[in-house]
Amino acid sequence: MENVFVFDHPLIQHKISLLRDKNTNTKEFRELVAEIAMLMGYEVTRNMPLKEVEIETPIGMAKTKVISGKKLGIIPILRAGLGMVDGMLRLIPMAKVGHIGLYRDPDSLEPVEYYCKLPVDVEEREIVVLDPMLATGGSASAAIQFIKNRGVKNIKLMCLIAAKAGIERMHKDHPDVEIYCAAVDEILNDHAYIVPGLGDAGDRLFGTK
Ligand code: PRP
Ligand code: URA
């Protein structure tokens, strides 16, 4: 699958199994989402540009490297994307954070926007959109369209579980956006939940069931 990167690292796969388990409680679920986001963030930021600098060590001068160029922004899709923010900020504490609030209308299954606040210089940043679940792809596609409308060129999507239908929707609407995920599931049920998935990510994260 073009532009789709599935993380097969054993630590990530192990934690995804715990996340899927219906007996995992809210506290554990929250911790696991943050941990997986951090582990995935390590790879998602692999291509960040570096520049050479000269630093004086206690012994002498060293030519060494620091991150340069484009600054990073992370944008969680509310609510469930919030669970991935802390993990990413542990790696990139200087990243700016925007928020896009969307919920899926239970009847039409179409995303409805209720909040959008992005960093003022969002168009100068490389953006990573965070949402644990890519089901029909409607929410991610709409969120990414808002961000593109603000002039952002460089966008990545980081999710935990992606359904094939969501990946196809993203390929159709936003073929330029790379998708990073920890698992690809085959199907959706009649309510457009991912099967087997992990259930309702927002409810499991915040205990609102
Ligand atoms: C979930 C999930 C995604 C969306 C995925 O959010 O966090 O945003 O559904 O479904 P889609 O790919 O079919 O659009 P939900 O709408 O349940 O809102 P919540 O995070 O506030 O619970
Ligand atoms: N949203 C969720 O939280 N879970 C799914 O399986 C699909 C959409």
Ligand 1 centre distance from Cα of residue 105 (Å): 10
Confirm whether residue 202 is marked as ligand binding: no
What is the phi-psi region of residue 207: left when phi exceeds 0, alpha when psi lies from -120 to 50, beta otherwise? left
Average the pLDDT over 28-50 and give the result.
95
How many domains would you assign to the chain?
1
CB 98 within 8 A of CB 117: yes
Please report, for the domain that includes residue 61, its CATH number: 3.40.50.2020
Q: CA 111 → CA 124, 133, 179, 192, 209, distances in Å?
A: 27, 13, 19, 12, 20
For 183-198, how does the pLDDT look when each residue is reduced to its tens digit (9 = 90+)?
A: 999 999 999 999 999 9
How confident is the model over 90-112, as pLDDT tens digits? Answer: 999 999 999 999 888 888 888 88
Is 84's C-beta closer than 6 angstroms to any atom of ligand 2? Answer: no
Was 17 annotated as part of a binding site? no
Mean pLDDT for 36-47 is 94
- Answer yes or no: is 137 a known binding residue: yes
Find the domain containing 63 and state its range. Answer: 4-206
Q: How far is the CA of 94 from the centre of ligand 1 (A)?
A: 27
How many C-beta atoms surround the C-beta of residue 23 within 10 A?
6
Structure-token pair, residue 88:
């990413």
Q: Is the pLDDT of residue 23 over 80?
A: yes
Least distant ligand from the CA of 139: 1
Query: Is 135 close to ligand 2, i.e. is its CB under 6 Å away?
Result: yes
132, 140, 150: which is closest to 174 by C-alpha? 140
As given in the structure block, the two tokens for residue 93 are 């504490």
